Amino acid sequence: MIIAANLKMNLKRKDLQHYKETLQTQLSLLNSVDAVIFPNMACLLDSSYFQDIPLTQGAQNAYPAKNGAYTGEIGSEILEELGIRTILIGHSERRELGDNQEFCLAKFTYYQELGFRIFYCIGEPLHIRKKGLSAVMDFLQTQISGIDLHYPSLVIAYEPIWAIGATQPASIEEISATHLNLKNLFRNINPTRDIPLLYGGSVKADNAREISQINGVDGMLIGSGALNPQNFLHIIKETLE
Ligand code: PEP
């Protein structure tokens, strides 16, 4: 099971240190999953900082270039210097800030070529969900258009936009049906690999177990529910029971 924490624009360096120290107290728990953290971009640390705990640090975003005249962006050169080889691409909050499909694809292609592990996010807005599953699938297909599903270091996160930062996640039936359809779609394109498919959207300790047990859910991408390291650990524990 992949358990990933997207800390967004939250937590300072001091908090991240506390985060690490808290996780350090539960190494066996952490060891039992594939744990990933995407810290606040200004808090990215040299990956050696995490080398004594089984936790991968990833970048929430990056520009598709090594370096250059891209004010306010970070490129692959600095990520590689920090030992970061994992990246989140296509999060709905980035898409809302202007990352259209073409730009998401440019990022995907660039970081694929560098061999990064890519967590690629897809998810529909509420008005599409209201039209039913077939409209949802049509929408999600536009978001994976051009993405190389044969890439061996690809993880996909299905995050319905209307369930992100909400009071509750998508229903078990909605997650189950969407994951089943996505898995079939992926399998038709690449029958040789079961592409890991995460669910994201209001996952918390009290719903993590039920969600993690849904057929076709290979892990979870967690935002607010993982801001507190104790909650992150609690979620991991729930997925193991
Ligand atoms: C996210 O933004 O990736 C996310 C899943 O957020 P939250 O868990 O807060 O809904």
pLDDT tens-digit profile of 162-191? Answer: 999 998 999 999 999 999 999 999 999 999
Largest Cα span, the chain: 49
At 11-61, the pLDDT tens digits run 999 999 999 999 999 999 999 999 999 999 999 999 999 989 999 999 999
Q: Could you tell me if 33 and 1 are in contact, meaning their C-beta atoms sit under 8 angstroms apart?
A: yes
pLDDT in tens, 128-164: 999 999 999 999 999 999 999 999 999 999 999 999 9
Q: Rounded to whole angstroms, how far apart are CA atoms 192 and 151?
A: 11
Query: What angle in degrees, to the nearest 10, is found between the helix axes of 133-143 and 172-189?
Result: 50
The token duo for 182 is 């996505």
Closest alpha carbon to 4 in 239, 222, 228: 222
Q: What mean pLDDT is reported for the chain?
A: 97
Task: Indicate if ligand 1 lies below 6 Å from the C-beta of 201.
Answer: yes
At 241 the pLDDT is 75
Atom of ligand 1 minimally distant from the CA of 8: 2
Instruction: Report helix, strand or coil for 106.
Output: helix
- Name the superfamily (CATH) of residues 2-240: Aldolase class I (3.20.20.70)
Tokens of residue 149, six digits: 């599903």
- Flag the least confident range among 1-15, 41-55, 105-119: 41-55
Residue ranges of domains in the chain: 2-240
3-state secondary structure (DSSP) of residue 198: strand
Q: Which of 89, 93, 9 is nearest to 44 (CA)?
A: 9
Q: 3 C-alpha to center of ligand 1: Å? A: 12
